[in-house]
């Protein structure tokens, strides 16, 4: 069974429970669910100029990784090969928690995201995607005449 990174701590668990309860009361979630505990785990944030997406995809070969942006929908897809041996070999698998196989996660970007200015870097198993916001949408100070 695949388990995402999980904090094993009473207080962290309580935080998680609280979040889950909050989510249960969220009556209009995204149509794509934006479910937690998917692979890769995602952190999303933004600055006034960019939207920053961090996908935690350790051990994913860069060649299999596919990032696409279509009509405001950012999709991260790829495949992670399992190091586990096939069933015939004489080995014992004691713990099997890591994700294996193909994955695809999608998220909707805000309207001001510029599809022409997307930058993706993979380092130490973290995919960092930076999407620039359109200049027209950036906050401007309006001078008063």
Partner 1 sequence: MRNDVQTTTSNSARSGTASQDRSRYSDTALTPPVDVIEDANGITLYADLPGVSREKLNLHIESDTLTIEAESDLTVPEGLASHHTEVGLARFRRVFTLSKELDTEKVSAELAQGVLKLRIPKAEHAQPRRIEVQVA
- Selected from 56, 106, 112, 114, the binder of partner 1 by CB under 8 A is 56
Shorter beta-carbon distance to partner 1: residue 95 or 145: 95
- CA atoms within 13 A of residue 93's CA, in its CB half-sphere: 13
* Cα(48)–Cα(56) distance, integer angstroms: 23
Q: Is 4 in the site for partner 1 (CB under 8 A)?
A: yes
* Cα(76)–Cα(131) distance, integer angstroms: 14
- Selected from 59, 72, 102, 135, the binder of partner 1 by CB under 8 A is 59
Q: How far is the CB of 145 from partner 1 (least distance, A)?
A: 30
- Selected from 18, 20, 36, 104, the binder of partner 1 by CB under 8 A is 36
| b/e per residue 8-26 (b: at least 16 CB within 10 A) | eeeeeeeeeeeeeeeeeee
- Selected from 20, 52, 66, 119, the binder of partner 1 by CB under 8 A is 52
Ramachandran bin of 104, using left for φ above 0, alpha for ψ from -120 to 50, beta for the remaining angles: beta
Residues lying near partner 1 in the complex (CB under 8 A): 2-12, 34, 36-37, 40-48, 50, 52, 54, 56-61, 82-85, 89-99, 122-126, 128
């Amino acid at each position: 069974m695949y388990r995402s990174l999980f904090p094993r701590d009473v207080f962290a668990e309580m935080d998680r429970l609280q979040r889950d309860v909050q989510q249960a009361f969220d009556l209009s979630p995204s149509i794509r669910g934006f479910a937690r505990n998917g692979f890769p785990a995602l952190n999303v944030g933004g600055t006034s100029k960019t939207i920053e997406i961090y996908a935690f995809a350790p051990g994913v070969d860069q060649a299999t990784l596919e990032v696409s942006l279509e009509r405001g929908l950012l999709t991260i897809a790829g495949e992670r090969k399992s190091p586990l041996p096939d069933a015939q070999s004489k080995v014992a698998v004691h713990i099997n928690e890591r994700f294996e196989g193909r994955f695809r996660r999608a998220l909707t970007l805000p309207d001001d995201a510029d599809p022409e200015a997307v930058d993706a870097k993979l380092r130490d198993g973290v995919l960092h995607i930076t999407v620039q916001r359109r200049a027209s949408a950036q906050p401007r100070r309006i001078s008063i005449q």
